[in-house]
Amino acid sequence: MRRIKRIFVAAVILLVVFAAGRTSFVQGFLNHWNVKSEATLTAEGYPESLVQLYEKNEEARQFVLDYKKNGNNEQPIDISSDVTDGKIPLFLQWDERWGYRTYGDNFLAITGCGPTALSMVYVGLTGDTSMNPYAVAQMAQEDGFYVNGSGSSWSMMTELATKLGLSAQELSLSEDSIRQELSQGHPIICIMGPGDFTTSGHFVVLTGVDSDGKITVNDSNSKKNSNKAWKIDDLMSQIRDLWVYQ
């Protein structure tokens, strides 16, 4: 019993010490791992939406930190090195070549999953490297496909794709139809609901079927999600709508 009491007292003391110095403890922990706090980024003048991106997506942290030196980058965009015949390229919406540029009411890095997905499909099918994510985003905005506060309208996935010269149609949400189209080399853009890819809505590209029967995905917001193969049931439970292209 005495031993239990001693352990309890020691635990209380540790909690008091931690509570008294929690600010310095947390800051020290962040400094140790070279992670900046939200307050620090805000104080340093980073835009609020990029601060939120830094907090939510650790893969994009270097992109956020590079904003101060590269945020005004207006260099011509060259994606030729990203393209391989017969493959759908992976473009990230927070790529520094275009992520700091504007799409709608925010950075393309924040709002640009739709144009980035359509760019991947278009470039992969045609080999035309002029339609990088920013070029598609400009077309989408000019044609009224951006909805303030929401992102890209779903109609963009057929209407703008058709304008670009692709054959695009809505696809039924079934395992057979998904597998059949992918096996024929037809990429599929999906709008995902809350789950593994997003807390709200997010466009991704289904690119193929691997040797284990799992689905390969290009997620413009995550290399990690793009480097793994997915069980089709896990994807279908999150898909809200989908479109197939050729």
Average predicted confidence (pLDDT) for the chain: 90
Instruction: List the one residue out of 161, 149, 66 whose CA is nearest residue 110.
Output: 149
Q: What is the pLDDT of residues 67-111, one digit of tens each?
A: 999 999 889 999 999 999 999 999 999 999 999 999 999 999 999
Three-state DSSP at 74 gives coil
In the chain, where the domains are located = 1-35, 80-245
Q: What percent of the chain has pLDDT over 70?
A: 86
Architecture of the domain whose range is 80-245: Alpha-Beta Complex (3.90)
If phi > 0 it is left, if psi is from -120 to 50 it is alpha, else beta; for residue 50 that is alpha
Q: What percent of the chain has pLDDT over 90?
A: 83
Instruction: For residue 206, give both structure tokens.
Output: 């289904």
- Mean pLDDT within 228-234: 98
Q: What is the pLDDT of residues 217-229, one digit of tens each?
A: 999 999 999 999 9
Q: What is the pLDDT of residues 37-46, one digit of tens each?
A: 989 999 999 9
